[in-house]
Amino acid sequence: MSATQGGDAGMIRKLPELVINQIAAGEVVQRPANAVKELIENSLDAQATQITISARAGGLKLLQVQDNGKGIARADMDIVCERHTTSKLRELEDLQTIASFGFRGEALASVSHVAHVSLTSRTADAPCAYTCEYADGKPKAPTRLCAGNAGTTVTVEDLFFNQPTRTTALKSATDELNKIADVVTRYAVHNPAVSFTLRRFGAGNDLRTPGYGTVPAAITALFGSTVAKVRHGSIGDEEREVVLRAAGVLARPLFLGPVANGGRSSKKSMFMLFINERSVECRQLKQAIDLLFSTQDVVCPLVYLDLKIDPRRVDVNCHPTKNHVQFLDQTAVFERVQEVNFLDVEVEGLGTIVVCLAALALRFV
């Protein structure tokens, strides 16, 4: 049946390349926080140890991510924002073992189709930096010389300037900044050897981590000193293949008493999940964690879980934003999480609290 008015048969046409790219960009970059996530991952892939994120108007007016990583060579500046240009993937089989965050050549390309992008970069062996502005994946003008430190600075202005319905659908600038802070917090905890700074233009730092190389130091910088002890480890026979391991952090669980007595709080905890170094969401796994606490009448405001799984058992390419992954034996993983032991730990200044020894080992036979 025709989708056109009047019953006339509609003619099928190929969409213009620009429209295709803007549709794809909208799938990868749905809000400022998505752009920040992609740019942070690029910085981490470049082995940066210092990453500074700046935002104005919740990232819609301006976003800037500056790092001290390896930088981008002059020869790559002209194509760095083109779709499907990457240094990390050569053939389809590489997807099964890919370890870097970016691999599809989507991040900068997507941002450049929905914002005004400028990039300044210098490699350690280059005598100077280079800078270029981009639109729709292409340089707006030739790359030129400039002053600059080793590393890369990506500036994103007027995000979604060509998609007014997208900006209308987003919430307030404060809400968008909070979502950016959430992304930065997750990566700062998971990468404690990297110093992260988030700030609003014209204001002080919203958060900062020292980059001392320990998870407790990062958590203390972000959440204060009254956090619980950190437990790391693994269980299992080391002589057999261990395809899933986890280290976990639970910060200051709160005893609330039986639900029947009105002790349960509706406040949501912050659940940070990383699978093979990637920040992802997994509703079923969060439910498994919540079930653990529901049986203990405890609410934990911070749960950080770091899973290491054989890359061949995880699909990291199942969603445009790479926020979701699919892995084999999902039910077995969830069941194993729910078998985690609890320990009574005496923490100075807090008394006895319950800390989850989130150290898992799961074998597939």
Consecutive 10-residue runs of the chain (365 residues): their mean pLDDT? 53 68 63 93 94 95 97 93 63 50 65 93 96 94 96 96 86 90 92 94 80 81 63 38 53 45 48 83 74 63 73 64 63 61 42 36 31
Q: What angle do CA 309, 359, 272 make, to 5 degrees?
A: 70
CA-CA distance, 290 to 145, in Å (whole number)? 53
pLDDT of residue 230: 47
Residue 171: how many other CB atoms lie within 10 Å = 11
pLDDT of residue 346: 43
Beta pairing, strands 302-309 & 270-275: parallel
Q: What is the pTM of this model?
A: 0.77
The SS3 assignment for 30 reads coil
User: Which ranges constitute the DSSP H helices of the chain?
Assistant: 17-28, 32-45, 107-114, 164-169, 173-190, 215-223, 283-294, 330-337
Three-state SS for 189? helix
Contact 315, 309 (CB under 8 A): no
Cα–Cα distance measured from residue 126 to residue 117, given in angstroms and rounded to the nearest whole number: 23
Is residue 156 within 8 Å of 57, Cβ to Cβ?
no
Q: Which residues pair with 356 in a beta bridge?
A: 342
Torsion of CA 103, 107, 109, 110, to 10 degrees: 130
Strand partners, 60: none
Q: Where are the domains of the chain?
A: 17-220, 226-362
* pLDDT at residue 292, as a whole number: 64
> What are the tokens at 246?
């986890």
- The per-residue pLDDT for 240 is 36
Helix, strand, coil distribution of the chain in percent, nearest 5: 30, 25, 45
CATH 3.30.230.10 applies to domain 226-362: yes
In DSSP terms, which residues pair with 345 in a beta bridge?
353
Q: What is the pLDDT of residue 355?
A: 39
Residue 163 makes CB contacts below 8 A (sequence gap 6+) with 22, 26, 114
Side chain identity, residue 188? A
Q: Are 327 and 314 in contact (CB under 8 A)?
A: yes
Beta carbons of 259 and 296 less than 8 angstroms apart: no
With residue 352 as reference, give the H or E element that holds it. strand 351-356
State whether residue 302 is helix, strand or coil. strand
Architecture per CATH, 17-220: 2-Layer Sandwich (3.30)
